[in-house]
Every structure is written in C-alpha cells, then in structure tokens.
A and B are shown apart, each in its own frame.
Chain A
Amino acid sequence: MELTRREFLKIAGWTGLAFTSPFPLRKTSLVEAAEKWLSEPEQWVPTTCLLCPGRCGVLARVVEGYVVKLEGNPQHPINQGGLCPVGQAALHMVHHPDRIPGPMKRSGARGGGKWESIEWRSALDEVASRLKEIREENKPHTVAFMSGGLKEEETLKYVIDRLMRSYGSPNHFFEPSLQNGMPMGHFLTQGIQEPFAYDIERAHYILSFGASLLENWHSPSEAHRLYGYLRQGRPGPKAKFVQIEPRFSVTAAKSDQWVPIRPGTYGALALGIATILIKEGLYDKEFIEKKTFGFEGWVDENGKTHEGFKDVVLKTYKLDYVSEVTDVPISTLLQLARDFAHRKPAIAIADSGATSYSNGVSTALAIHCLNTLAGNIDSPGGVLIPQKIPFTKLPPPSLDKIAEEGLSQPRLKSLNEIGESPYPLQLLFLYRANPLFSALHPNEIRSAFGQIPFIVSFSSYWDETTLYADLVLPDATFLEKWQDAPTSSMSGLPIVGLVQPVARTSFKTMPIGEGLLTLAHRIGGTVEEAFPWKNFQEVLEWRISGVFEAKRGVFFTAQEETTQVRLLEERGWWVPPHTSLQEFWEGFKKQGGWWDPYYPFGERQRVYQTSSKKFEFFSKKAEGLFENHVFRFEKPYFEGDPETFPFYLIPFHLLALSAPEAVSSPWLLEILSVQNKVGWDSWAEIHPKDASTLGIRDGDWVWLVSPIGQHKVRARLYEGIYPKTVCLPFGLGHGGFGRYAKGIGVNPNDLIPARQEKLSGLPIQFGTRVQVRKA
C-alpha cells in the first residue's frame, strides 16, 4: 500500500490518542507505518524527455504523485546525468495553468477563441464518423496528417503511418521548419536519407559551418556534454573548435576561432578549402581511390567524357574568387585547410544554419565532401552512419480497394501545397505541429487552412494552429503517458529510451497513441484489422520484443558493465542478461531503456548504399538536378533589392526555446539570452557601426521592414555580427501557448517570404533582406 503524507498524519494523530487509551496500539504497527512513510515519501522513476529530438534520460522525483523535479539519468548514454534548461522546465509545461484541460469543440467562428468542452466519447465519435463518411465517398486521400518532432523509428510515427496507409491517404508529412538539408547531401553521395552522426567525441578538429552545436543541436545535452569532455577531461591533444558563421553565437563564443562569413556563402568556402586540400596534396589519397567514384574524370559506357570533381573544383574555386565571395581572407582559408588536413581526425559539421539558404542542398554537398577528402567517413572521429534499432517490423496492413485507390493519388509534399493541391483536403490532423507560427510567412498559410473544412489538433497546448482548429483532442505530456524514445548518439549508437507515466495532473487528456487506436477501431473494416492491439502499450511491447530477440546491447547501466558488453560484442559474443521477454520488459522499465554500445566499423553495405557501393562525387541520382556539376557554389537568393533593403535578415535559435512548448515556461522566458541577458522580449542585433550610421543607440525601438512585412523591436548593438546584417531570435511572438508566452516578442517568420529550397523543399529561412529604421 502506498501511504500518502496525509494518511500518515491521520495515523500519527490516531496513535497519539492511542497512547492515552487503555488499549495502546501495538508499537510495531506504528513503526511499520513510519518506516513505510520514511521509505516511500518519494520515488525516482526513470523516463525520457520528449521535448526536443535529443531524447535525454531523466529521473523524475515524484512526491505523492506530483512530479517535483527532473534530473538527468546518469546512466543514459545521451546526457549521462546532465539535463538542459528546457528539460528542467518541463515541470512548468506539465503543470501549466493554460494547458488544454480536455477535449474541446469550437463554438464560435474559426479562430475566434470560443470553445466548449465535450466528452471524449463524443469527440472521438465525431472524428470517426467524419472519417467514415470521407471513406464512403471514396476520398480517403483528402485526409492529411501533419506531425512535428517525431523521430524516424518512433512507434508513434509507425502508428500514424499505418493508420493513414490502411485508411488510404498518402499524406502524412512533417513540419518542415524542424528539418535540415544535410541528409539530402548524404542521399546524393551515399544513398542514405537518414541523418548522419558526427563523432565529435573522438575528433581533434571540428570545423563547423554555422552549426548551432550549443544552441539548437538535435541533442543539446549530448553536445554540451561532449563539448565539456573535449575541453577538459579527454586524454591526449586538445580538440580545436572552429565556428564559421555570420553571427558570434554562443557556439562561436565557446570555439577557439570564429570566422565571420558573408551570409549564404558556406558552399564557396567549403569548395575553396577542398581546392587547397587537392592542390597541396593534403587529402586522403587512399580513401579517395578505394572508396569514392568521380574524383577523377572518366568516360561512361556511351563514350561520353565526364569532368571529375578534382578538375571542376580546381578550375572554378580559385582562392581570390572564394575570398571575394565569402569575405574570408585568403590567409584564413589556407590556415583552415591546413589545420583540417593536419589535425586528424578532423570533421566538418553543419545543420540548418548552413542549409536554410536558397542554395541549401549544394551547400550540404560541398560541406560533406570535406569529410570525404579527409577520408573521415565511417571512421572514429568522423561521420558515422547510425545503426537501425532492431524493432519488430509491423507486417504491412492489408488494404481494401478504397485504400488502394486513395494511396495511388498524388502525394502532397508540403504544407505550402495545400492551397494549390490537386484535390481539396477534407480533414487535417495536427500533432505537435504549429505551421501557423513556424511556417515562413504564416499569414499566407492561414488562408489555405481556411479552405480545409475540418481541422483536428492533438496538441496539449493552445498553439496558434490549434486555436484555428475545429476540434481539439489534447495529448498527454511525456510525463503522463507510455511511449518509446528511439534515437542514436553522436557516435552512431542505437538507443531506445522508455517513456512512462509519472505525473498526476487533473487534465482530462488522452495519449495520442490511444486516440489513434480508438479511431482505427471505430472506423472498422481493414482499418480496424490493421490494429489488432488493445492499446498503445501493446504496440510498444510488440515492437520492442524485436530488441529482445536481436540478442545484443545492454540496458542503461553503470559504465563498467557497458564497457564489458562492448568489448564482448567487438569479439562477437553476447551474454544474455535476461532469459525471457517478461524479464526483458521488467529490466527495460526499471533501467529506463536499452542501447548497443558497439559500433561496427567497415560495414560497407550500410555506409555506401549507392549503385557503385562507393561515395559518389558524381551520382546518377543527382544527374540533371544541377547545371554542370553536383559540387558547385550557387549564389544565395535574398528577397528585396539591396538599395531599399540593405540588411540581411539572419534569425537564430535560442537553446531556451529548443522545444515548441518551451515558450510557455516563465523560467525559460526569463533566461532567453545568455549573451546579452535579455528575457521576456525579442531583440534585433545590429553592428554598432551600422547603427551609428542610422543614428540608432542600444535599446532604441527600431522598425525592421522586409518586402512582405514589418516588426517593431528593440535594437541591441552587438560587435559579434557581420556588417549589414540583422539578427533576430526565432521562437517568440506567439499569440498562443498561454498567459506567459502570449504577446512576448515578435516572430521573424512574418518577415520572410514563403519560399522553398528547390531540391529539398525545405523552407528558406535566410532568404530576405530588410530595412532598419529608427522607430
């Protein structure tokens, strides 16, 4: 029996009387009660944070059912005991007074903010009957699902995909603002679409092309932990960090060298470095010869002569040209290239900071080729290809005729296509996606959304898009539900964390997984048959049984034990710590997850999934996508002519807002910027010299005017910024997310035209110029 403090007080009071009564209570029971209370006033439960893609292990301190603190799980391989400010502030997000209290139905005009609360049963009935109707009209493809923040291998993603497939819609897409273009570069050269891992833990030189390692990295706590380890603690020579970026970000500030660069010219810089490596013979010749294709020129089967990577680069990217384009001195270019070649292993890293320009994919390719020239693919301290988690595969659902027809319809690739889609959408589901805030020029999308007759949101919070929905089926937060948290470490190791319910709240929420299963069951037919599980937990158990059967890896445990398992696996052994699936589950729940600490190097089939089984400087996949050669620098496009709009607008990410719901926490709003101690507001950073020409002083109100919109914001004069550039933080300017976030700051997306990178389809976040005027 669990004893609450209140109950204990009752017992204590009663025993107090008992001492005066003629029938004294036996002492043992009092001691028992007291012991029980002393031993169980609180519990520590292992679970996993789902706020950002990092998937850190946490230990929740639970007192009488309330979560009162989260700590990092010291045995979790990602964060090893630390926990970032956003994870710490999860307490606010779970206990937020403006969370959606239960299922809601719109009662006034759309977006008017009038809602009535309804019962779960009737809410789900309504959605199910609409879905049935649409299906009966043979239009299942007109139902779309937009999700945000799901990981590739997550069970919830599989359930959504499976539901949409068995229902007959090809339209499950991800919120585009959360993705970066690097994987497209990997796909065109190595045939792999999943993100790669950068093994900085073992690298000696880290050349970062605007990667926000310490702000917006996909797993912040891991990046911070590795940074600390590389600075002090790792034996041997110290690693050197170089940050190339127009803004002196936190990552730049904590690096050994900051190289300011003209916005959007990372690709030219990377190819310039490649030129020096080739010209000075500093590249890994053996690697290039054995594991790449297209470095030298060749003649194809039709007798056509192709120029090799080497010739193209040497011909085009002469140093004076590169220096002029990038505004990086030639001496710095030479120093970067030589350092990169000599401090082995050296790694070139990047994220959306480099790929969110109009030339995103060609930039990704140029940066990735540096790792190839250094021979640093699939080697320690280099670019690793994460292993898949051995989940049990769900058998493909059987499809009826309606589903087959629906699936054969053209797929909507992104949200921007909603307005001009070949068929009008009937119903849109949203899960943790907030396009009316996060998309570029959100007002434009609002009108497209207006044409969708029914929008259902699974959000736990009143975000902008949920406020515009018709029905809200609030999901439970990660501290209130069962889920899995598959991820991989920056050393490419597969990890599955467990998410289990630990918090007691009074909100009438339903985990989205349960909601989707219920809907499938109510639709009936082949859709119901595709989900033979009673609840979401059963799906989880079913998938994770594959991890048990894979006979490898270890639960999160002490480092010594993990090292032993790794050494055994290296030699081809594995000692089962559990004999039955039941035992495996118990261990999994108790330890908070499983991982495999062994990375097998040299699995060529896994690393190069191209037709040549090599890294391809010339890829068949990319043929015709680019003029001339795949590896080329394209000038970035910025909206607005330089005369009228003289400043580049380069927004940046804040660590404190690295999850969409983070903005709802006042703790995080208080600490927005460590660099200039700003909280509770947006600010526009501008170089003091530019400011003095415009007569702007620190703290003045200024107007930022772009070709499509304007915002008034306070100016901060900042030395750490490329001239003629204005930087503004992403993530503020909400009209939703509750009382603390609403009305704080401005949203940079309002100023940026909704354009997409032509190959990846990703939003061009750095794609406009602005005018700065004193307000």
Chain B
Amino acid sequence: MVIDLDKCTGCQACVVACKAENNIPFSTPQEASYGREISWMEVLPLLEGEYPNLRARYLPRPCLQCEKPPCTRVCPVRATYLNEEGLVAQIYPRCIGCRYCTTACPYTVKYFNWKTPKWPEEMEGSLNPDVSVRPKGVVEKCTFCHHRLQKAKEVAAEEKRTLREGDYVPACVQSCPAKAMFFGDLNDPQTEVSRLSKDPRAFRLLEELGTEPKVYYLSEGEWHGIQHG
C-alpha cells in the first residue's frame, strides 16, 4: 500500500469505511476515555511550530504489514504470524489475549476486545456477511481486507488466471475521496504501488527499527523525526 500524504485531507473516510467493512464494534464515551476504542485504521495528526508559523500533517495508519513484524515474535501461541501472502494474520480462536503483541507493535495497530461486541437488533442486518465478528478477549487488527482478497482469488481462479492489479483493494483505499491511497503488489515492478514506492517522496514509518513495513508514505519536503527511505 502507498499513501500520499500530500493528497490526504485527513477526512477519515478510510476510518469509517474500515469500520463498516470489517464489523468493528463502536465504542461509548466511557470506553473511548479508557482508550479502548477499536479503529484498525486511524488518522494521526502531527502539529509543529508556533503561532502563526504552523505545520500540520495527517497520517492514515493501517496495519503496516511488516516483513519483519515484531508482534509475531512475541506471540506465545502463534496466533499471529506472517502468512504466505505477506500479510500479518491473526488466528482469533488461538489467541489467548495476553496482549504481548499489542505492546510489541511499534505502530500501535493491534487492538484488544475488552467486551463481547454487540449491536442493536436493527443494525445487525447491515453487518458485512463476509467478515466474522471477533469475540471478547482476543486481539484484532487490520487485515488489508483479506476477505476481499479471498474473493478476488476465487474469481481469478474461476477465470483461470492469476490476480491482476485492481482485482481487489481494501475498503479504505476504495473510499478515499482525495484518491490518496494506492494498493497493489509491491513485488510486481509493473504496478503503480511499486513505481510509487521508489518515488523520491517515498518513506516508511520508523524505518530504523528494521521492521520493513509494506506501507509506503509519500511526502514532499522533510518529514521531521522520521527518516526517509
């Protein structure tokens, strides 16, 4: 995935699109004040400078799907692992809720279910039938809309071909009004994401940690406190 911070307007359509697509339970004011709100995609604000010389950035942060994920190494039961598609996966029934991974993740993308998710009866019909609801006591996070990938693979298999660029994009990328998000196969040099990831504006978050995230950001000028790739 590539996110162009110069285009991003901080509108948070990606945040809501993700919640709708992935059946993420909404919080209450009290839970939010405890920091227990679940939001696989978050837009993080950064403000620098003093009045009137200010500079602000808004940074959408999904799971960065690290190639060397710190979270998988600490899981005592292999409930989170790097799968063959290069995604950091979660196996909910295996998770024992120890939350080592939420602590290990430097990007804070992992969320713990503090309660059994519940929706009013009227809202239940609008849940996405493709995504399971996670029970109390397990950790969850962004999957790059893995269920969409599975569907796209089935369609491709039916049509007897391999996956093509644009066969599937996660909900956040699809919703982006400013068209600031791009999605595709980084290993295929022909794709737009692969081209953009080599752009002079490209960098990755906290690259010095050696996590090798598969989400690239694009930004003009220097990015304070964050090394360019």
Contact = CB atoms under 8 A, between A and B. Distances in A.
Interface string A644-675: 00000000000110000000001110110011
A79 interface: yes
Interface stretch (B10-18, B84-92, B183-191): B10-18
A720 B53 CA distance: 9
B176 interface: yes
A232 B121 CA distance: 44
Given A250-B9, A666-B26, A224 B178 contact: yes
B49 interface: yes
B50 interface: yes
Contacts of B10: 214, 250, 253-254, 674-675
Nearest to B25: A666
B139 to A, nearest CB: 20
Give the residue among B4, B19, B51, B55 with the most A Cβ atoms within 10 A: B51
B176 A82 contact: yes
A655 B122 CA distance: 26
A518 interface: no
Given A220-B11, A250-B10, A670-B26, A83 B17 contact: yes
B115 interface: no
A587 interface: no
A81 interface: yes
Given A67-B126, A68-B126, A83-B13, A674 B45 contact: yes
The size class of the interface chain B forms with chain A is 35 or more
Contact of B177 (A225, A232, A505): A225
B132 interface: no
A652 to B, nearest CB: 14
Contacts of B96: none
Interface in B160-182: 171, 174-180
B29 A681 contact: yes
Interface in A81-113: 81-85, 87-89, 91-92, 94-97, 99
Given A260-B52, A719-B47, A83 B177 contact: yes
Interface in A720-752: 720-721, 723, 744
B225 interface: no
A701 interface: no
A59 to B, nearest CB: 10
Contact of B15 (A85, A220, A233): A85
Contacts of B17: 83, 85, 88
Interface in B111-139: 120-123, 125-129
A276 to B, nearest CB: 21
Contacts of B122: 95-97, 99, 505-506
Interface in A135-165: none
B128 A231 contact: no
Nearest to A92: B123
A244 B123 CA distance: 42
A680 B33 CA distance: 9
Give the one of B4, B20, B120, B177 with max A CB within 10 A. B177
Interface in B15-42: 15-17, 19-21, 26-29, 32-33, 37, 39
B6 interface: yes
Contact of B47 (A254, A655, A671, A720): A720
Interface string A579-603: 0000000000000000000000000
A258 B126 contact: no
A738 to B, nearest CB: 10
A99 B47 CA distance: 39
Nearest to A61: B128
Contact of A95 (B26, B37, B43, B123): B123
A253 B177 CA distance: 18
A687 interface: yes
B209 interface: no
Nearest to B27: A670
B81 interface: no
Contacts of B9: 214, 224, 227-228, 250, 254
Report, nearest first, the 4 A-B pairs whose CB atoms are least far apart.
A228-B178, A82-B177, A253-B56, A97-B120
8 contacts: A69-B171, A72-B177, A79-B177, A81-B174, A82-B179, A83-B175, A228-B8, A674-B45
Interface of A: 63, 66-72, 79-85, 87-89, 91-92, 94-97, 99, 214, 220-221, 224-225, 227-229, 231-233, 248, 250, 253-254, 258, 260, 504-506, 655-656, 666-668, 670-671, 674-677, 679-681, 687, 719-721, 723, 744
